[in-house]
């Protein structure tokens, strides 16, 4: 008996996976920790220098909100410029659609789409900025950045779908403390972030991206009523329609201009009612129009490209004393700069964890003293944050240690350590300010001194802001090393198991077939697979290769299949013993099947390669999908319908031609036909237009499709083995497709093995066909043909492998399937940028928003191809040559199960383990790289999710084969006992 029994293999595999999961968890939570924040909220101490607030006044919690507002006004020395604030968030609006790009105005069509807004900018009644958003560019962390001035942790992208109440210091909390009444209309993310703060609210879900109309009408319908009331101080309007237009049709969608015109009408309505026509007894109102992020040409977001980070900050109602030439070159700010700017405009403390710098152009209406005070308050707040991040940073006690006579002589050039540089920059600015203020009589003539002071403060503010922004958190390197060590151990365990399985299987082959090629030759395709692993590991260290990873996988998949074609031409038939006795006609048939099948894989792979110009840098290049989209929606729709019909026809043909049990074939075929016809009905009836909104009938139909697919698949897997009957008349084989001609008669006559393979063939094909049908339903319309081509690749690969005999190593074949799955992943338009995640399909068939269900659907859509090829392993087990397997009469039954499942489970786990461990090491090395958050971190999220995909897929394959084998064995024993009973 071999050392590696089935039980040991199972236990060691589970142990390896468990250790890998522990190591991965340690690394992820060490590398992407929740960003530490200063507890509490800013109060009156923020209006004093950091070293001067050792003695606190009475507790602010005892003060009435109006008293607190008066206290802040008195301490700040700057009267609030405005009394009311309207924050209008246009979700997903790129700033260049309003402000242009590189100093050039937007196109004429865009100018005409927002005439009123453009007139405000042209007449100096509004000031617009490109507000650079930090990645990840999704709604929830961007809203947090705007109201708190803090840059959240990178994993906030995961929290975007499960928003929790915001506990950190923020503008809304500060406004609430001084008694402001707040109203919110729009995205319900605000209600989840700030529960209980709003006087009135009407939230709408941001996740039903098919809706581009009602989601904005629900906001605007209340607008007239709210503008006519005077019982609120802060009005939040969050419009989602433009973002949804982008998700569905891209930045150049036909609905983009009408949506911009609709937003322009809202701006006009607010400006005319609340700013131009204000009554004398009403305070000044400020309208701030912002966007949380931009969008790519395809309308998605989440990454760090210019198009995604280019958000808008438009201040309407502020006096503009700045020339257009100045604004055209100085209109770039950071999104976090909005928080300190609004705080200082409305006389509340700057939020405690703010890293933003006030936007100086907004404060042009203030006197020089007040502008200087604003810079000083912002500097004090950032200095406090620096002192919390850098223990021991005191910067002496200036300006609390009294005046000095030699102040100007102490101004020095700042250099040295980070602590010394911050102190030097801050002290220089404070000294310059004190010097300027001391010249009270001649201050009007000291413009140069004032300018030097402002420059000094901004040098400190920008340096501190950039340093605080870059420093997400200190990464515990020792803890990260522990995580990597655990992953290395797991990788060694899984590779050792794979090595022992190879050794056992191929030693058995050599004993059965004394072939020199098997004993001695190391084929080129086997060497290539091992070389590919090295290529992938090396490429991970390059940010450019990470961004354009699709080229590697397409090269790997096509090259390996070319090597298999070369090998097939050199040795047309498999190397099994049966081939030596087979007729010339049989050899020609096998040779033709192998050559034609591998050619189909290569041709379909080339089409898939050109379907999407994926990646990050070359998405503008032409590809098949762009060409089809330019041909018109009707053509794309026709391709979708044709693809669905071909998938249905191909599935039913293979099922009825090669299925063994017609009763089960009819049941599976009927359920598949019903599901396919319902999917076709959905295409025809509910997707006549790209922008059809979600409706009850659409949701119900999709839910019915889900139910039929789920019940049929689960029912077949569970019930099929129990209904298999063993009889001497069924000892033969059904067809060559799922039983190679090279299998010896002694194994073919083993009834249990035959029935096992027949059952797994049906189950495996059902997995494949229903998964493809589900993807046709969920994927973008343009990807329908891609799904068909992936199905063709699987069918051709299975045909090739069923005739490959022992001439082909199993681990090479499974690696080829794995490579095809990854190449298909990028062929569907995916990349290593979060912006390519398809959000639109993740809410198909969901009547009420559910984070879990939406997340599952998003996972299914994103990992359609890798999961499809892993699930195909069930069918692979049923069609693969098993002549090396022992006879069940002479072997332990678990030994047979181990040999059948060893490669299909260990090869995907081993390959993924190598890539996961290697990239984790790369990420640790690149932790201080310029692109760590924009390139390497998003890629690592994909690597981790791919690991989950492999875990799930391998678990399904192992469970299906084990369950089927166990039930068939039990059923055979029961039928055998009944047969003996009847004989008696």
Kindly indicate the confidence band of residue 407, based on its pLDDT and cuts at 50, 70 and 90. Answer: very low
**Contact present, 544 and 773 (Cβ < 8 Å):** no
179 vs 330, residue with greater confidence? 179
Reported confidence tier of residue 358, pLDDT bands at 50, 70, 90: very high
Greatest mean pLDDT among 556-565, 657-666, 927-936: 556-565
Listed residue (753, 769, 971, 978) closest to 868, CA to CA = 769
What pLDDT sits at residue 189?
Answer: 86
- Outline where 749-892 has alpha helix (H): 751-778, 784-802, 810-827, 851-862, 864-871, 873-879
- Going by the DSSP 8-state scheme, the letter that residue 89 receives in this structure is E
Does the model's pTM come out above 0.75?
A: no
Half-sphere CA count of 7, side-chain side, radius 13 A: 2
Give the three-class secondary structure for 127: strand
The pLDDT of 239-260, averaged and rounded, is 88
Q: What is the pLDDT of residues 30-51, one digit of tens each?
A: 887 666 677 888 888 888 888 6
Q: Give the pLDDT score at 984.
A: 52
pLDDT band at 267 (very low <50, low <70, confident <90, very high): very high
Q: Which residues contact 22 (CB under 8 A, 6 or more apart)?
A: 486
Answer whether 740's CB lies under 8 Å from 881's CB.
Answer: yes
**Distance in angstroms (rounded) separating the CA atoms of residues 441 and 626:** 69
**Range in 90-104, 148-162, 481-495, 872-886 with the lowest mean pLDDT:** 148-162
Residue 893 contacts by C-beta under 8 Å, 6 or more apart in sequence?
965, 969
Tell me which H or E stretch contains 448: helix 447-470
- Give the residue ranges of DSSP H helices in 472-549: 477-512, 516-520, 524-539, 543-547
H helices of 779-809, where?
784-802
CA-to-CA separations, 110 to 246, 259, 264, in angstroms, rounded: 15, 11, 11
- For residue 819, the cross-strand partners are none
Q: How far apart are the C-alpha atoms of 234 and 263, rounded to whole Å?
A: 19
First-residue to last-residue Cα distance in the chain: 37
**Do 764 and 957 contact (CB within 8 A), yes or no?**
no
Give the H or E element holding residue 128: strand 126-132
Tokens in use for 422? 């911050």
Instruction: Compute, in degrees rounded to 10, the torsion defined by CA atoms 156, 157, 159, 161.
Output: 160
Give pLDDT tens digits for 275-311: 877 654 456 899 999 999 998 887 888 777 888 889 9
253 and 201 Cβ atoms separated by less than 8 Å: no
C-alpha distances in angstroms, 790 versus 185, 649, 784, 867, 900?
A: 45, 15, 10, 12, 25
DSSP 8-state code for residue 405: T
Greatest mean pLDDT among 90-94, 317-321, 442-446 lies in: 90-94
Residues 612 and 565 sit within 8 Å (Cβ to Cβ): no
Half-sphere exposure of 75 (CA within 13 A, CB side): 20
- In degrees rounded to 5, what are phi and psi of residue 576? -75, 165
Helix ranges (H only) for 77-233 are: 96-99, 108-113, 115-122, 139-148, 156-159, 171-177, 189-193, 214-220, 223-227
State how far the Cα of 393 lies from the Cα of 419, in Å rounded to an integer: 6
Residue 779 token pair: 């994927």
Distance, in Å, from the CA atom of 154 to the CA atom of 135, rounded to the nearest integer, reads 7
Helix (H) or strand (E) holding 332: strand 332-334
For residues 754-780, give the mean pLDDT: 90
Q: Identify the H or E element spanning 699.
A: helix 696-719
pLDDT mean over 702-714: 91
Q: Distance between CA atoms of 822 and 832, rounded to whole angstroms?
A: 12
Percent of the chain with pLDDT over 70: 80
Distance CA 604, CA 606 (A): 5
Q: How far is CA 927 from CA 25, 27, 555, 937, in A?
A: 17, 12, 29, 9
Q: Class of the 84-365 domain?
A: alpha beta
Q: In whole angstroms, how large is the CA radius of gyration of the chain? A: 34
Q: Give the pLDDT of residue 416.
A: 66
What tens digit of pLDDT does each residue of 722-756 get? 887 766 444 444 444 444 444 444 443 356 788 88
Neighbours of 462 (CB within 10 A): 13
Angle, alpha carbons 727-728-732 (nearest 5°): 105
Give the integer Cα–Cα distance in Å for 905 and 134: 40
CATH 3.40.720.10: which residues of the chain?
Answer: 84-365
The average pLDDT across 221-241 equals: 92
The residues pairing with 314 across neighbouring beta strands, listed in sequence order, are 128, 289
pLDDT at 729: 44
Residue 275 carries which DSSP code? I
State the Cα–Cα distance between residues 46 and 38, nearest whole angstrom: 14
| Least confident stretch, 182-191, 275-284, 704-713, 821-830 | 275-284
Q: What is the mean pLDDT of the chain?
A: 81
């Amino acid at each position: 008996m071999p050392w590696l029994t089935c039980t040991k293999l199972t236990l060691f595999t589970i142990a390896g996976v468990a250790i890998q999961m522990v190591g991965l968890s340690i690394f992820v939570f060490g590398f992407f920790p929740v960003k530490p924040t200063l507890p509490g909220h800013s109060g009156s101490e923020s209006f004093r220098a950091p070293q001067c607030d050792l003695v606190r006044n009475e507790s602010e919690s005892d003060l009435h909100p109006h008293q607190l507002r008066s206290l802040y006004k008195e301490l700040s020395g700057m009267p609030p410029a405005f009394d009311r604030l309207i924050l209008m968030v246009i979700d997903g609006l790129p700033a260049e659609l309003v402000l242009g790009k590189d100093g050039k105005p937007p196109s004429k069509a865009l100018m005409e789409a927002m005439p009123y807004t453009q007139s405000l900018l042209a007449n100096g009644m509004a000031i617009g900025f490109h507000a650079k958003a930090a990645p990840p560019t999704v709604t929830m962390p961007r809203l947090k950045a705007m109201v708190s001035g803090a840059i959240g942790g990178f994993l906030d992208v995961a929290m975007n779908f499960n928003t929790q109440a915001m506990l950190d210091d923020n503008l809304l909390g500060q406004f609430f403390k001084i008694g402001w009444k707040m109203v919110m209309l729009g995205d319900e993310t605000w209600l989840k972030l700030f529960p209980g703060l709003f006087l009135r609210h009407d939230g709408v879900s941001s996740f039903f991206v098919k809706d581009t109309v009602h989601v904005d009408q629900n906001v605007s319908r209340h607008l007239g009523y709210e503008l006519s009331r005077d019982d609120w101080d802060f009005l939040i309007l969050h419009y989602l329609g433009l973002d949804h237009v982008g998700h569905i049709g891209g930045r150049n969608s036909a609905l983009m201009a009408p949506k911009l015109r609709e937003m322009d009408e809202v701006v006009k309505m607010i400006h005319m009612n609340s700013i131009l026509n204000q009554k004398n007894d009403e305070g000044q109102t400020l309208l701030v129009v912002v966007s949380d992020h931009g969008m790519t040409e395809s309308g998605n977001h989440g990454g760090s490209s210019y198009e995604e980070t280019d958000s808008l900050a438009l201040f309407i109602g502020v006096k503009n004393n700045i020339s257009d030439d100045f604004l055209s070159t100085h209109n770039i700010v950071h999104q976090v700069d909005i928080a300190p700017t609004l705080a200082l405009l409305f006389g509340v403390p700057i939020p405690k964890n703010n890293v933003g710098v006030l936007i100086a152009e907004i404060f042009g209406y203030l006197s020089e003293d007040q502008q200087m005070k604003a810079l000083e308050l912002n500097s004090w707040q950032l200095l406090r944050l620096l002192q919390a991040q850098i223990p021991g940073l005191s910067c002496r006690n200036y300006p609390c240690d009294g005046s000095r006579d030699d102040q100007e002589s102490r101004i020095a050039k700042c250099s040295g350590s980070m602590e010394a540089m911050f102190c030097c920059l801050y002290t220089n600015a404070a000294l310059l300010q004190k010097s300027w203020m001391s010249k009270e009589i001649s201050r009007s003539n000291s413009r140069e001194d004032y300018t030097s002071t402002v420059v000094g403060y901004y040098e400190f503010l920008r340096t501190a802001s950039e340093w605080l922004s870059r420093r997400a958190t200190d990464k515990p390197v020792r803890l990260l090393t522990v995580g990597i060590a655990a992953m290395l151990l797991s990788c060694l365990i899984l590779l050792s198991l794979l090595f022992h399985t190879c050794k056992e299987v191929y030693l058995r082959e050599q004993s059965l077939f004394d072939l020199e090629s098997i004993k001695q030759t190391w084929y080129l395709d086997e060497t290539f697979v091992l070389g590919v692993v090295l290529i992938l590991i090396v490429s991970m260290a390059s940010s450019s290769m990470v961004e354009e990873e699709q080229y590697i996988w397409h090269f790997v998949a096509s090259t390996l299949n070319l090597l298999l074609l070369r090998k097939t031409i050199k040795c047309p038939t498999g190397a099994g013993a049966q081939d030596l006795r087979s007729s010339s006609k049989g050899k020609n048939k096998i040779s033709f099947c192998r050559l034609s099948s591998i050619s189909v894989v290569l041709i379909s792979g080339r089409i898939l390669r050109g379907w999407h110009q994926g990646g990050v840098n070359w998405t503008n290049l032409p590809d098949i999908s762009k060409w089809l989209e330019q041909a018109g929606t009707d053509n794309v729709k026709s391709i979708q319908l044709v693809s669905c019909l071909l998938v249905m026809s191909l599935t039913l043909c293979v099922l009825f031609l090669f299925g063994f049990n017609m009763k089960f074939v009819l049941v599976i075929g009927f359920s598949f036909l019903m599901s396919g016809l319902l999917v076709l009905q959905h295409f025809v009836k509910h997707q006549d237009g790209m922008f059809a909104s979600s409706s009850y009938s659409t949701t119900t139909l999709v839910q019915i499709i889900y139910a039929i697919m789920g019940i049929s698949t689960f029912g077949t897997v569970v019930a099929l083995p129990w209904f298999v009957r063993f009889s001497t008349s069924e000892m033969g084989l059904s067809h060559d497709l799922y039983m190679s001609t090279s299998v010896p008669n002694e194994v073919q006559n083993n009834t249990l093995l035959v029935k096992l393979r027949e059952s797994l063939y049906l189950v495996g094909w059902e997995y494949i066909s229903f998964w493809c049908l589900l993807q046709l339903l969920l994927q973008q319309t343009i990807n329908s043909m891609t799904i068909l081509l992936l199905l063709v690749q699987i069918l051709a690969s299975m045909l090739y492998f069923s005739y490959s005999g022992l001439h082909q190593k199993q681990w090479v074949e499974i690696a080829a399937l794995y490579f095809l799955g990854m190449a298909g992943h990028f062929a569907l338009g995916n990349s290593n940028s979060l912006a390519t995640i398809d959000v639109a399909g993740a809410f198909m068939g969901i009547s009420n928003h559910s984070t879990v269900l939406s997340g599952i659907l998003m996972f299914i859509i994103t990992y359609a191809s890798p999961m499809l090829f892993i699930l195909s392993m069930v069918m692979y087990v049923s069609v693969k040559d098993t002549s090396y397997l022992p006879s069940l009469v002479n072997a332990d039954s678990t030994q047979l199960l181990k040999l059948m499942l060893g490669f299909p489970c260990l090869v995907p786990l081993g390959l993924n383990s190598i890539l996961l461990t290697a990239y984790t090491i790369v990420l640790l090395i690149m932790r201080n790289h310029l692109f760590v958050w924009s390139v390497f971190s998003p890629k690592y999220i994909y690597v981790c999710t791919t690991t989950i995909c492999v875990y799930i897929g391998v678990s399904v394959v192992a469970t299906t084969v084990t369950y089927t084998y166990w039930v068939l064995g039990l059923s055979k024993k029961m039928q055998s006992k009944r047969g003996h009973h009847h004989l008696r």
